[in-house]
Amino acid sequence: MADKSSDLPLTRSSVKAAHEAIKEYIHCTPVVTSQTLNHLASQPQASEALIGTAFEGRRSASPKINLFFKCENYQRIGAFKSRGAFHALSRLSKEQLAKGVVTHSSGNHAQALALAARTHGVRAYIVMPTISTPSKISATRGYGAEVIFSGSTSQEREAMVKGVIERTGAFLIPPYDHPNIILGQGTMALELERQVHELVNRDASLSVYREESNHTDSKPTLNGTSNDESRSTPGRCPGHLDAVIAPLGGGGMLAGIATALSGTGTKVFGAEPSFEGADDGRRGLATNQRVTSVKTLTIADGLRTPVGVTNWTVINDNSKVQGVFAVTEEQILSAMKLVIERMKVFVEPSAVVGLAVCLYDEEFRKMVEEEGGEEGWDVGVILSGGNTTLEAVSGLFATGGKEAERAEGKLGKKGEKIAENVAG
């Protein structure tokens, strides 16, 4: 997919077109709410929780936050990646599809492309690092793909992909850094927008807003469009999200959501782990320069990759993405525990970084308190996937994530611990 000249532009209209192209192949995943988590997010943190942070000794923020969870863990293959994979294939010609497709991925994109290829009767070649989780390798093969193993560094993976292309003529479908992937991932935001509006219409108590004011009657339609495309930015009102926060790894999902929601009045934020420099997006924004390499063994294994070049152009645009926040391993585990135990939703660590920001990041919480005022904010939270195992989750909670071997990124070819720019 090197030639981008014929690709759709990164616009809200293009995301709508992508949704039309893939909606018969994907699930419209549910949006769920939780009064318990709304209550926890709206309570000030204990002063002890701020010790060692920039907010130590200050008054804890006391925002009002109502949460709407988009459960992409219920998407086909267990994660949002199916959206981008199906859309990428929909943009290829019959001649290109006849030669097959190839990618490199540690798991979720591998499974997504394998499924999309099988659905369209296309041969798929998947280059996977030897450190990939056995369950993800098995699932990828189960969808009919040919799995080729490589080392864990980006140079090793790219060299293996190049060899597959030279041998087969297969067409490269990148894991995240391409307009077609971005537009496919953005389709979840159109669904979320519509679903929240429908939920609040049925039960107004789900929103922080109790009375409509300063807004138009425009609302999303079934395909995520508005019945008044020429309208100005809507006012704050029931059924209209104030913000959406999504995990940030390579950036395809966040860039897609930001593109889909551009001009709607909904703010978009990214969330990352801070462990071992996994917060490359946040650091890049601080210096106005994309970070090109990430080497981390964060438990959020789907976020162990730097933001892609194309994705960076969206994420570094403050009119589209208003900020990126980072959370600790302990905060990720705490948020994951709440989702599993209180919401009864099974997720992987990468999925809950957005919720962790809402619960524990004082900078974000203070912003909501100041901008939302007494009413507060309705916030959409993307739960990006649930591709993990009971054994892996049990191991993380048994040791608090400190000593447990990560299910992914455990060993390199020579037995050394390696994880460099691993694409999920």
Q: Which tokens is 263 given?
A: 């001009």
Instruction: Compute the distance between CA of residue 1 and CA of residue 259 in angstroms, rounded to an integer.
Output: 20
Confirm whether 366 is a catalytic residue: no
Choice among 14, 82, 105, 106 that is catalytic: 106
**Contact in structure between 16 and 225 (CB atoms under 8 Å):** yes
In one-letter notation, the amino acid at residue 233 is T
Q: What angle do CA 407, 412, 418 make, to 5 degrees?
A: 75
In one-letter notation, the amino acid at residue 285 is L
Neighbours of 408 (CB within 10 A): 23
Task: Label residue 409 left, alpha or beta by phi (over 0 means left) and psi (-120 to 50 means alpha).
Answer: left
Instruction: Compute the distance between CA of residue 109 and CA of residue 174 in angstroms, rounded to an integer.
Output: 9
Q: Note the residue count of the chain.
A: 424
Question: Which of these, 301, 296, 383, lies nearest to 68 by C-alpha position?
Answer: 383
Choice among 70, 81, 136, 295 that is catalytic: 81
Exposure letters 158-173 (e unless 16+ CB within 10 A, then b):
eebbeebbeeeebbbb
In one-letter notation, the amino acid at residue 265 is G
- Rounded to the nearest 10 degrees, the angle between the axes of helix 12-22 and helix 81-90 is 90
β-partners of residue 68 are 380
**Contact in structure between 209 and 237 (CB atoms under 8 Å):** yes
Q: Which tokens is 289 given?
A: 């320069």
Q: Residue 366 half-sphere exposure, CB side, CA atoms within 13 Å?
A: 9
Instruction: Compute the distance between CA of residue 65 and CA of residue 39 in angstroms, rounded to an integer.
Output: 8
Instruction: Compute the distance between CA of residue 249 and CA of residue 296 in angstroms, rounded to an integer.
Output: 12
Q: Residue 177 half-sphere exposure, CB side, CA atoms within 13 Å?
A: 17
- φ/ψ of 180, rounded to 5, equals -65, -35
Residues ≥6 apart with Cβ < 8 Å to 352: 332, 335, 336, 339, 383
Instruction: Compute the distance between CA of residue 85 and CA of residue 115 in angstroms, rounded to an integer.
Output: 9
Confirm whether 106 is a catalytic residue: yes
Enzyme catalytic residues:
81, 106
